[in-house]
Structure 1
Amino acid sequence: MQIGLWTIPGRFVLAPMAGITDAPFRKLCRRFGAALTTSEMTTADTRLWQTAKSRHRLDLDMDAEPCIVQIAGSDPAQLALAATACVARGAQIIDINMGCPAKKVCSKLAGSALLQDEQLVARILDAVVAAVDVPVTLKIRTGWDPEHRNGPQIARIAENCGVQAIAVHGRTRACRFKGHAEYNTIAEIKNSVTIPVIANGDITTSQKSLEVMKLSAADALMIGRGAQGKPWIFRELNQLITPEKNYRPLEKNDVRDIMLDHLSDLYRFYGDTTGIRVARKHLTWYCNGLKDSTEFRSKVVRVDSAAEQVRLTLAFFAERMDHDLLAA
């Protein structure tokens, strides 16, 4: 897949998810073969960039290329200014969010709410593409609601404005995360443009990825919730299309060390107080894939000490060294 001058070395990329895909998690997913990782969605209002949350979200992956920053907003000039500022910080691709279904985003006519106004979409994309000399990409949904699936029209507008790739979550804004992803609509979007299209939605297993590739004809797949607590899903997916690499199966000690490394990076990135809080949700997701982890999860998400989170994690694995640990 080609995005501007960048050749993307794989078909599986990490979805940007606010509050989840921070710098430590992006690094972990790249370690297991994510071909692209994008910053968490950041407001285009640069006046808010001095908050701790925005500073963390704008911590760029300067050790990985291309470095991608996702911005969200509804004012063309504001988005163009934010894109320029991100490029000045080192961003090599600017991604615009028109896919987020959250009420607090859509209430400001940002995210997927923009799909209702195709003229505003065009003005935003024209402004941002003109403002920066790096590729601009776009994240959308299939439409506003099931009666207004205008994803193909939005995709054509994007291509005409100079957008270099489009990621599509296979649901409308109204559907949020309910029901099944519409891979046939993604295929329709793919057939309507010549730029790369990345399919997103409900891709949680290797078998599902094969199904989505076939149904959507997408150039790549974007993994979101499927990577939560399972960053090694990218290795599993890559093995599916490159079986000759013979990846070694994960063992208990591997999972333990992945979790401990992740905790260490979170404490270092956020500091202990915030790092402990952020670690709780990641530990919960890890536990969803671990057998007999109910008691461990109950304890580890309640402690207020980084050292205690680490101790409980070590103890959980030490007590189960002779047992099968990974859930099917």
Structure 2
Amino acid sequence: MHIGSIELDNHLFVAPMAGVTDRPFRMLCRQLGAGYAVSEMVTSQPHLYASLKTSRRANHEGEPGPISVQIAGTEAAMMAEAARYNIERGAQIIDINMGCPAKKVCNAWAGSALMQNEPLAIEIAEAVVKACLPFGVPVTLKMRTGWSSDNKNAPVLAKAFESVGIQMLTVHGRTREQGYKGQAEYATVTAVKQAVRIPVVANGDINSSEKAAQVLQITGADAVMVGRAAQGRPWIFREIAHYLATGEHLAAPQTLQVRQWLLDHLLEHYSLYGEHTGVRSARKHIGWYIKGIAGQDSLRTRINAEQDCQQQWQAVADFLEDLARTQPVWPMAQATASTEPVADDEAACGSCSNHTAN
């Protein structure tokens, strides 16, 4: 599969999730089978470029390509400048956020709120494409099925976006009105795929190998994007890849292997965020990994009390080493839970302490 002239490893994508898909998480998902990962959304407001949050999100040191950065905003000229800013810092693909339904974003008429203003949405897409053209950087766009159940305008917008040069579209199977409630529908995704010639990616409630296969078959989409189902289970991408290739389920990983993945993930996380922020922001990742495992409450209490990264890391290391003695194969609690409908893509940003794209 290609985005413009860029060839991807496969058609399994990591969704952009504010507060989750930072560089360490993206790199781990890529290591475990994802062919493509989109960054957390970055603000288009220039006065926030120097903020610590934006500088971290624009840090791509050691990250394998293609490096895709999602930008958010409401002004065409500002979005164009944001695209150039991120290209100068290593972005090889620019993704426009018109899919986020969070109130903090939509109240500013960004994210999926732009779908209610079709002329502005198209103006932004065209401006960003023009800004990226001299650099040879393709532009993609992520949106919802529409603003509401009575206004599912994704197919109409898809044609317009294609006409101004957008080179790939991702569609989350919910409206802005739904937020993260209910279940994703794929009829609109199918309609988008039939309306355009550029690649279309299906997103929403893709939380198992079977669901990924089903959505690809139903929609005819070129790829699937996984969000919340990858939290605490980043190996879901290799599970899906194996199932699509063989029709069989991949055996659960060894507990000691998961232990190593998580410990390496934590070291990269601490390195990016530093001691003070790293020990705190790592808690959610650890919690996702151990969800449903016996003894999780005691470990949560300990890691939440730790103020030192090394001590937090050691607590996790000891816990999983002990777990491996009694359960050498990773417990299936996560895999079982993941078959329940979840609102993926940016849904995690709803649980993030700060949803703003800065």
| 2:239–2:249 Cα contact (<8 Å) kept | no
**CA–CA separation in structure 1 for the residues paired with 2:175 and 2:248:** 38
* Structure 1 residue aligned with 2:339: none
**CA–CA separation in structure 2 for the residues paired with 1:286 and 1:240:** 22
**CA–CA separation in structure 2 for the residues paired with 1:289 and 1:153:** 43
Choose the corresponding residue for 1:243, options 235, 238, 246: 246
Alignment deviations for residues 39-91 of structure 1 (CA, whole Å, 9 cap, x no partner): 11001112201111111111126542211111000100000111112112221
* Structure 2 residue aligned with 1:209: 212
Aligned positions of 1:41-60 closer than 5 A:
41-60=41-60
Range with greater deviation from structure 2 (315-324 or 9-18): 315-324
Choose the corresponding residue for 2:203, options 190, 200, 204: 200
Q: Could you tell me which amino acid in structure 2 is paired with residue 60 of structure 1?
A: H
CA pair 212-307 structure 1, distance change in 2 beyond 3 A:
same
| Structure 1 residue ranges (4+ consecutive) displaced by more than 4 angstroms after TM superposition | 244-249
CA pair 245-272 structure 1, distance change in 2 beyond 3 A:
farther
How far is 1:298 from its partner?
2.9
| 2:96–2:141 Cα contact (<8 Å) kept | yes
**CA–CA separation in structure 1 for the residues paired with 2:68 and 2:45:** 18
* Structure 2 residue aligned with 1:30: 30
**CA–CA separation in structure 2 for the residues paired with 1:144 and 1:171:** 9
* Structure 1 residue aligned with 2:170: 167
How far is 1:202 from its partner?
0.8
* Structure 1 stretches lacking a partner, 5+ long: none
Q: Could you tell me which amino acid in structure 1 is paired with residue 103 of structure 2?
A: K
Asked whether 1:231 is paired with 2:234, we answer: yes
**CA–CA separation in structure 2 for the residues paired with 1:38 and 1:13:** 8
* Structure 2 residue aligned with 1:150: 153
| 2:243–2:250 Cα contact (<8 Å) kept | no
Q: Could you tell me which amino acid in structure 1 is paired with residue 132 of structure 2?
A: V
Which structure has more RCO (C-alpha within 8 Å, separation ≥ 6)? 2
**CA–CA separation in structure 1 for the residues paired with 2:314 and 2:89:** 38
How far is 1:302 from its partner?
2.8
TM-score w.r.t. the length of structure 1 is 0.96
Q: In percent, how many aligned pairs have the same letter?
A: 44
| 1:165–1:197 Cα contact (<8 Å) kept | yes
**CA–CA separation in structure 2 for the residues paired with 1:132 and 1:310:** 41
Q: What's the C-alpha RMSD, in Å, of the aligned pairs?
A: 1.7
How far is 1:192 from its partner?
0.9
Aligned positions of 1:226-305 closer than 5 A:
226-243=229-246, 249-288=252-291, 290-305=293-308
How far is 1:297 from its partner?
2.2
**CA–CA separation in structure 1 for the residues paired with 2:272 and 2:248:** 33
Q: Could you tell me which amino acid in structure 1 is paired with residue 150 of structure 2?
A: E
| 2:42–2:54 Cα contact (<8 Å) kept | yes
| 1:287–1:294 Cα contact (<8 Å) kept | no
Equivalent residue of 1:149, what SS? coil
**CA–CA separation in structure 2 for the residues paired with 1:320 and 1:60:** 34
Q: Could you tell me which amino acid in structure 2 is paired with residue 168 of structure 1?
A: V
| 1:284–1:301 Cα contact (<8 Å) kept | no
**CA–CA separation in structure 2 for the residues paired with 1:230 and 1:119:** 40
**CA–CA separation in structure 2 for the residues paired with 1:85 and 1:245:** 44
**CA–CA separation in structure 2 for the residues paired with 1:274 and 1:132:** 34
CA pair 62-179 structure 1, distance change in 2 beyond 3 A:
same
Q: Could you tell me which amino acid in structure 2 is paired with residue 161 of structure 1?
A: V
